[in-house]
Amino acid sequence: MHCLGAEYLVSAERAPRQREWRPQIYRKCTDTAWLFLFFLFWTGLVFIMGYSVVAGAAGRLLFGYDSFGKVCGKKNSPVEGAPLSGQDMTLKKHVFFMNSCNLEVKGMRLDRTALCVSSCPEEQLDSLEEVQLFANTSGSFLCVYSLNSFNYTHSPKADSLCPRLPVPPSKSFPLFNRCIPQTPECYSLFASVWINDGDTLHRILSGIMSGRDTILGLCILTLALSLAMMFTFRFITTLLVNIFISLVILGLLFVCGVLWWLYYDYTNDLSIELDTERENMKCVLGFAIVSTGITAVLLVLIFVLRKRIKLTVELFQITNKAISSAPFLLFQPLWTFTILIFFWVLWVAVLLSLGTAGAAQVMEGGQVEYKPLSGIRYMWSYHLIGLIWTSEFILACQQMTIAGAVVTCYFNRSKNDPPDRPILSSLSILFFYHQGTLVKGSFLIPVVRIPRIIVMSMQNALKEQHGALSRYLFRCCYCCFWCLDKYLLHLNQNAYTTTAINGTDFCTSAKDAFKILSKNSSHFTSINCFGDFIIFLGKVLVVCFTVFGGLMAFNYNRAFQVWAVPLLLVAFFAYLVAHSFLSVFETVLDALFLCFAVDLETNDGSSEKPYFMDQEFLSFVKKSNKLNNARARQDEHSLKNDEGTELQTIAR
């Protein structure tokens, strides 16, 4: 993309000298090579999308398919060498698995004989006569297509071409249209193969679709709670903060108590026989342990930082004053979230098509098996990098848009006359000059996350083959990558704000931001961290109430449903939505303090170089510095007293 705006000339000096901070003056296209690289990368993604449409067959996964190469509910083309392929299955929309209650099915996995039928048998069929009657009355043939229903009771091959008796009652599964056995014994065997078949996609989607109504209600609850939290932070007071912290404490304790109570209820339930119930019990124990650890850490932090509540209220009042100059900043998460949802849906659709891209091979008995095409695994890896990189780029656009609007309002001499359309101005500067900088910054995230995913996959794959030392090393590597990921996210945010101020490239902006924040860290580090901590508690509160609602809803139908995966996804979605909405305050806070550091660096408060900050912000910083200095003197005095007492004791 070529530069659409002219470069502003700042100085005619030719001699090299130290570059100064020049808010909203210096502006040129930055990191254009990275923008070109991103364009080439997306060219590859578009190619993969086209290839998935041509070679993929997502309909086989979504609608189900039989063992002879036919998609149920669709018209099919014949496969060469498979005489039972190519039939019209428009009226046969359900997949019926033969011998779903047979113990040998565990060894056969999911490639056992499957047929397309018009309806699932809702009552148990005990004889071939009943199977024949069911076929004649419902038009649903449960034996292999080559056997006519008239010969169900006469053909000597009926035992091998028809399902083993008795045929259990079954019900069609919502998404994949599979006939799922309904008796507990058969469901336990079937679910242990179908749900735990190593296909993570099947596992996740099965849990989601079986509880889709509950999940939809929890998502609506999450949106409502996130909006309520945004309203709370927008009009925050000391009373609201105290109520808010009390709710966080109660929510954490309540969720932990409910999880441990559910685990106790599972362990004392003598009727637990299904694999799904036992798996739910293990997941409840894991959730309880993790939530208890998180609760303990957060309660300690709340107790230690409780005396900063009044200062935090003043901090958020200053933040809200900055937002008031550009109130549409609060709506930025809406369009960001909309774009992300659209991109994620497209990404999943391409993933499904890639997962079903395969060449048909005819096996013994005329059955058809689809073998993955060569190079598909490389496309999956490329597609995964595209997911992380593009998602981070979209989030970076929101961060820099908010930071640019804050910068425009902060470095405005006339506080009574705010700039017109600061958000549009920030967006125009972003797209005309600094897309390459966002591409470069967002690329650092997959560079760290991809190795972290690989380390986690290797740990899961080799956990039974390695000892405790190897597992410890894997966990250390994972923690290191996680810490680096968090540091890069903070570094990127400061680099984007510096780019919005100076118009420099990513590396220069990151270096300048690190230097100036290190020089002025005594002014705002503790205050900014505590403000971010309060925002994090808001996200925790949303997740707590959402998870509690999910626990109550999912527990009513725990026998035939593995609800651990959908509950985990609901918790992740709740945190993502809360983060999307509340990150506005977090970004404004970080941008304000960086602007304050630049203000201190370039001005001294004199009539020649007055500060850009208003008196309210300046008095807040002075008050916080006095508080920090008083605590430092108190700690020093306490240390001296301890030393004096110790010396006096020795003298005796």
Q: Which residue has the tokens 């500067």?
A: 429
Encode pLDDT of 302-353 as tens digits: 777 776 677 777 777 778 877 877 788 888 888 888 898 899 888 878 887 7
Tokens of 312: 């935090």
Same domain, 350 and 431: yes
Query: Is residue 331 assigned to a domain?
Result: yes
pLDDT tens column, 606-638: 777 777 776 777 777 666 666 666 655 665 555
Verify that 75 and 218 share a domain, yes or no: no
- Note the pLDDT of residue 649: 33
**pLDDT category, 531, cuts 50, 70, 90?**
confident
Per-residue confidence (pLDDT) for residue 484, from 0 to 100:
83
pLDDT tens digits for range 285-307: 777 888 888 888 888 877 777 76
By the 10 Å C-beta count (0-12 exposed, 13-18 middle, 19+ buried), 70 is classed as: buried
How many domains does the structure of the chain reveal?
2
Lowest mean pLDDT among 85-99, 272-286, 306-320, 361-375: 272-286
Residue 45 resides in a domain: no
d(CA 178, CA 557): 20
The pLDDT tens digits for 27-39 are: 788 889 999 999 9
What is the residue range of 81's domain? 67-184
Does 575 lie in the same domain as 455?
yes
Residues 430 and 498 in one domain: yes
Residue 174 sits in the same domain as residue 206: no
Helix (H), strand (E), coil (C) string for 145-173: CCCCHHHHHCCCCHHHHCCCCCECCEEEC
Percent of the chain with pLDDT over 70: 74
What mean pLDDT comes out for the span 221-228?
A: 85
As a whole number, mean pLDDT of residues 168-177 equals 74
Is pLDDT of 104 > 70? no
Q: Buried b vs exposed e over 242-274: b needs ≥16 C-beta within 10 Å?
A: eebbebbbebbeebbebbbebbeebeeeeebeb
461 and 332 part of one domain: yes
Instruction: Please check whether residue 617 lies inside any domain of the structure.
Output: yes
Q: Is the four-CA dihedral 538, 543, 544, 549 of positive or negative sign?
A: positive
Q: Which candidate, 551, 571, 461, places its Cα nearest to that of 219?
A: 571
Asked whether residue 250 is domain-assigned, the answer is no
pTM of the model: 0.73
Same domain, 104 and 212: no
Among all chains, which residue has been given the structure tokens 């570094």?
A: 491
Q: Are residues 625 and 578 in the same domain?
A: yes
575 & 462 share domain: yes
| pLDDT band of 260, cuts 50, 70, 90 | confident
DSSP string for 53-98: HHH--HHHHHH-B-TTS-BTTSB-PPPTT-TT-S-B-TT--EEEET
Predicted local distance difference test score (pLDDT) of residue 524: 60
Alpha-carbon distance of 167 to 560, in angstroms, equals: 19
| 288 within domain boundaries | no
247 found inside a domain: no
The pLDDT of residue 461: 61
- The per-residue pLDDT of the chain, averaged, comes to 76
In degrees rounded to 5, what are phi and psi of residue 172? Answer: -70, 135
Asked whether residue 525 is domain-assigned, the answer is yes
Of 508 and 60, the structure prediction assigns the larger pLDDT to 508
Looking at the domain assignment, is residue 251 inside a domain? no
**Mean pLDDT of all residues in 495-504:** 88
The CB-side HSE value for 246 (13 A sphere, CA atoms) comes to: 6
Same domain, 170 and 220: no
**């807040």: which residue's tokens?**
620
Query: Is residue 252 within 8 Å of 540, Cβ to Cβ?
Result: yes
State the angle between helix axes of 564-602 and 506-519 in degrees (0 to 180), rounded to the nearest 10: 70
Q: Are residues 148 and 206 in the same domain?
A: no
Residue 304 · residue 293 · CB < 8 Å: no
- Residues 574-603: tens digit of each pLDDT: 887 888 788 888 888 888 888 888 887 787
Within this chain, do residues 313 and 173 fall inside the same structural domain, yes or no? no
Q: Check residue 3 and give its pLDDT.
A: 46
416-440 pLDDT, tens digit per residue, is 666 778 888 888 888 988 999 999 9
The mean pLDDT of 257-280, rounded to a whole number, is 66
Return the beta strands (E) in 339-447 as ranges.
358-362, 368-372
